[in-house]
Amino acid sequence: MALKERVGTVVSDKMDKTVVVAVENRFPHPIYQKTVSRTTRYKAHDEANSCKVGDRVRITETRPLSRTKRWTVAEVLTNSTAG
């Protein structure tokens, strides 16, 4: 069974060992064919508290870690430039 992976942007790092990652999904509208953008927010486990707001990260699905947390940060792709 292949693990699900998503790439998104960290939008919140206020919780301890948890970040909120916004993943954008773009698809053509079924009738009008205009590109529609939908954003889904996932809570992901960040053991080292290393992610900051604006970081681009890859998250992978895992067993339930809390009521809403089912993802872990696999790697940080790019760091945010905001200081």
Residue 2: predicted pLDDT:
77
Per-residue pLDDT of the chain (83 residues; tens, 9 = 90+): 678 999 999 999 999 999 999 999 999 999 999 999 999 999 999 999 999 999 999 999 999 999 999 999 999 999 877 55
Structural domain includes residue 41: yes
Structural domain includes residue 52: yes
Distance CA 11, CA 18 (A): 11
**Global pTM value:** 0.89
Structural domain includes residue 32: yes
Structural domain includes residue 31: yes
Range of the domain at 28: 5-78
Structural domain includes residue 83: no
- The CATH code of the domain that includes 26 is 2.40.50.140
Structural domain includes residue 15: yes
Structural domain includes residue 69: yes
Residue 18: predicted pLDDT:
97
Structural domains counted in the chain: 1
Residue 83: predicted pLDDT:
54
DSSP 67: S
